[in-house]
Structure 1
Amino acid sequence: MINKSRLEQKAAVYGIALTGGQLDLLARYAVCLVEYNQKVNLTAITDPEGVEDKHFIDSLLFAAQPEVAGRMVDVGCGAGFPGVVAKIHKPDLALTLMEPTGKRVEFLRWVCGQLGLSGVEFAKERAEEAARKQWREAFDLASARAVAALPALSEYCLPLVRVGGFFIAMKGASAAEELEAARPAIQKLGGEYQATRAFQLPGGDARSLVVCKKISQTSTVYPRNGGKIAKSPLK
C-alpha cells in the first residue's frame, strides 16, 4: 500500500534511519489501518502518501526525540499515532495506549497482535479519570496528538507523568499561540516548558513538538473532571 523505499528516503531527510524490518511493519500497519477503516472510522487519511507523511513521518519525528524512552503513555491515541509507530521505531519502549473509545481499543489490540508487538498495554480510559487511578504519575513520558488545545491537554497529560519525566504535545502551526495560553496551566500542574522543536512534513505542513518537563508533583486538585477541563482551561 505504501512505498517502503519512498518512506525510507523521506525519513532519511530528517536523519531517521529505518531498518528493513521496521519498514515491513509500517507497511503492514498501513494495510491494517486502511482495511479496518472501512468498518470503523479511524482516520480520514488513507491515501499512500498521506499515510506516509501525516501519520508515519509525523510520528517518527516524535519517536526520534531523546525523551521518548522508558514507560510511555499515548493519550487519546485513536488509531495509534504516535504510539504504535514509536514502538516500532524504539522496540524497548514500554507503551500504554490510552483511548476511551472501545472500537478503537479493539483495533489497537488487533493491530498490535498483527504486528507482533509485545510490551504494549491497552487502557480504555479517559486521561482525566486514569490520572485518579493506578496511572497517576506512573509514566516517564506522556504524548498526545490532535486531542485538545494545549491548556486542556496539559491537564490531561501532566498528572500522568512522574517527576523528572516529560510531556510532549504534537502540534501544528498554532503551537506558539497555544503555548502562551498554556504556560499558567503547565506551571500549576508541576510542569516546566523546555523547548519547541519545529519541523515541516514532506508536503510542507508545519509540525511542532512542545516539550515540557515534570519538575514537581501535580496537586491532587488536578485533573478536574473532563467537562471543567474543556469549558474552563486553567489560566
Structure 2
Amino acid sequence: MAPELSPELRPVAQRLFGERLPLAEEFVRLLADQGVTRGLVGPREVDRLWERHLINCALMVDALPGDARSLADVGSGAGLPGVVLAIARPGLEITLIETMQRRATWLQEVDETLDLGVEVLRARAEDLHGQREFDVVTARAVAALDKLARWCLPLVREGGHLVVMKGSSAQQEIDDAAAVLRRLGGEDPRVSIHGDGEVEVPTTVVTVRAGVRPTRRGGPRGR
C-alpha cells in the first residue's frame, strides 16, 4: 500500500511539484507496488518514499540552473532522481541513462504510464562520451565524486553543470576529487543544502561547472 503524503510534507511537496503533484503521488504508488515486486525499491523503504526519496530528489530542482533546457540522469535505476525531476520540471528535456535492461524497461513503462515524454537510454555513461551532451547531468548515490566526474563530466556541455546528490561528506569528496575535476575541466565545485527548515533531512548537492574541454594528444576532444 502506498504511503500517504503527510500534512507536514504537503507544503514542500506542493511548492516543488505544483499542479503536477498528482503525478508524483502516482509515481509513489508505482514505486510502492511494482517497484517493490520488481526489486527496484526495498520493502523497508516504502514508508519513507515521500521524504527520503521523492521530496529528497525533488529538492534538487532548487539547485538546477534556471536556463537549463536538457538534463541527463546517469544510473536512473528506479527513476530517482530522473523521473522526479521530469515531474517537477516539465520544461526540461530529460534523458534517463541506465545500464540494466530490467531497470530501463521499468523506466520506459513509468514514462508511458505518467506520460512524461522522457528519453530512456540503455547504455553506460562512458559509451555516450563524444556522442551526447546536456546542459545538466545528475546522479544520486551512484559512486564517489571522482568516479562520477569521469563518467558524467564528459556528458556536460561546456558551461553546463554536473549536479549530484551527496551526503555529509560532500566537501571531503570535492577535496579528494580535486585533481580529477581539474583534469576533466570541472570548475567551481561547491556544496549547497536544500530543504533546510522544510524537511527533517535536507538534500545535499554538489555542483560542478563544466569549463573548457580537455584535449587529447593529436587534437581537441570530439563532441
Aligned pair 1:156/2:117, yes or no?
A: no
Please give the secondary structure, in 2, of the residue aligned with 1:77: coil
Whichever residue aligns with residue 126 of structure 1, its letter is R
Please give the secondary structure, in 2, of the residue aligned with 1:64: helix
For 1:93 and 1:205, the matched residues in 2 are separated by: 26
* 2:203 paired residue number: 207
For 2:124 and 2:202, the matched residues in 1 are separated by: 28
Cα offset, 1:56, TM superposition = 1.1
Whichever residue aligns with residue 100 of structure 1, its letter is T
Cα offset, 1:5, TM superposition = 5.8
Contact 1:98 1:122 in 2 (8 A): yes
Please give the secondary structure, in 1, of the residue aligned with 2:17: coil
Q: How does 1:1-235 map to 2 (within 5 A)?
A: 1-4=2-5, 6=7, 7-11=9-13, 16-19=15-18, 21-44=19-42, 46-48=45-47, 50-67=48-65, 69-118=68-117, 120-132=118-130, 134-135=131-132, 138-199=133-194, 204-205=200-201, 207-220=203-216
Please give the secondary structure, in 2, of the residue aligned with 1:18: helix
Cα offset, 1:199, TM superposition = 4.0
Please say which of residues 167-176 and 199-208 is displaced more in the overlay.
199-208
Give CA deviations for 1:49-108 in whole Å, capped at 9, x if unaligned: x11111111111102324263110000011111111111111011000000010000000
Cα offset, 1:218, TM superposition = 3.8
TM-score between the two structures when normalised by the length of structure 1? 0.82
Please give the secondary structure, in 2, of the residue aligned with 1:47: helix
* Cα separation, partners in 2 of 1:25 and 1:198, compared to 1, 3 Å: same
Superposition RMSD on alpha carbons, in Å? 2.1
Whichever residue aligns with residue 180 of structure 1, its letter is D
TM-score between the two structures when normalised by the length of structure 2? 0.87
Contact 2:64 2:163 in 1 (8 A): no
For 1:36 and 1:217, the matched residues in 2 are separated by: 42
For 1:9 and 1:207, the matched residues in 2 are separated by: 16
Aligned residues: 212
For 1:219 and 1:79, the matched residues in 2 are separated by: 35
* 1:230 paired residue number: none
Cα offset, 1:176, TM superposition = 1.2
For 1:219 and 1:35, the matched residues in 2 are separated by: 47
For 1:143 and 1:93, the matched residues in 2 are separated by: 13
Contact 2:135 2:160 in 1 (8 A): yes
Structure 2, gaps ≥5 residues long:
218-223
Whichever residue aligns with residue 143 of structure 2, its letter is A
